[in-house]
Amino acid sequence: MPPSKFAQPPPPEAPPEAPPESPPEATSPPEVNSPPQGAAAQPPALPGGTSSSLATSLHVGHVVTDADPKPPVIYETLRHEDNVLEIEKFNLWYGPKQALFDVTMGVPRGKVTALIGPSGCGKSTLLRSVNRINDLIDHVRIDGEMKLLGQSIYARDVDVIQLRKRMGMVFQKPNPFPMSIFENVVYSLRIDGERRRGVLAQVCEESLRSAALWDEVKDRLTESALSLSGGQQQRLCIARAIAAEPEILLMDEPCSALDPIATGRIEDLIASLKGDYTILMVTHNMQQASRSSDYTVFMYLGNLIEYGPTIHIFTNPRLRQTEDYITGRFG
């Protein structure tokens, strides 16, 4: 019988079932060279072919991990200098935290000595200890000795006010007094009782000339010192400091707040002052230290690491740690 035209077509054949996938083969983790049992783990290699000795002294964040700092390297040249300031085994604590560790050094007469090192290394703390500004901070404790021209700075009978008159201090940010340019320069003479107008005028002119500022302000001496530019204010502060004829001039990053042109003028001024004045200067600027100083002190974590002629510190330091900082590997 012929098939009816109404009959349903046969259902399509189902595709053949795919064979079940086999699970992926287990792969073993890459082989790691483990140190022999009981051996100390070695520090990872640093990029750029850095030696393993540097790897042992640096880790992430570039913090030295050596528990026992090595003795400082002080060049033989310094032993023949006539020192204005002598520092011997000086330690300082802020409460329980020790900031300086057995710092021993001299500051040669008529030379510029630069203190360099990363932030927090103690260079500003050391500088401020010289004129005892740290006395104004609560819970500061010191141990050791500092002598200015053979006289103890921290002796019990020292008059701190008279001591600070023997030192000039220039801070990071210019701090002229809110008075005239003339009165700023002669301030130290005024508080000593000097009233002779001729003496005050002479000291004012000589100090401003020494600070390379006289030609710029000689017709404005009665104007407020606050009207000067930042660079002029800093040179005014230097003129005010040298008007008292200090035995040592302390500078705490004197160019950090200035533009390049004003910085160049301050550096020229520092060069003109050395010989007549002994200068101890803190700077974060490596180029400035290399241009302006005769001697350089490298400090790290409160320790004096290396101290010698600037040309040797910057071109051929004796310690790898100094070289790493100078070349920018940490800081």
55: exposed, middle or buried (C-beta count within 10 Å: 0-12, 13-18, 19+)? middle
Give the mean pLDDT of 239-260: 92
Q: Which among 105, 84, 284 is positioned nearest to 168, based on CA atoms?
A: 84
In this predicted structure, what is the pLDDT of residue 115?
A: 97
Whether 13 has a pLDDT exceeding 60, the answer reads: no
Q: What is the pLDDT of residues 185-197, one digit of tens each?
A: 999 999 999 999 9
CA atoms within 13 A on the CB side of 67: 0
* Dihedral pair phi/psi, residue 100, rounded to 5°: -130, 140
In this predicted structure, what is the pLDDT of residue 68?
A: 56
pLDDT-wise least confident of 53-62, 86-95, 106-115, 244-253:
53-62
20 or 297: which leads in pLDDT: 297
Q: What is the pLDDT of residues 108-137, one digit of tens each?
A: 999 999 999 999 999 999 999 999 999 889
Between the ranges 16-25, 48-57, 220-229, where is the mean pLDDT highest? 220-229
Across the strands, what pairs with 303?
300
In this predicted structure, what is the pLDDT of residue 54?
A: 36
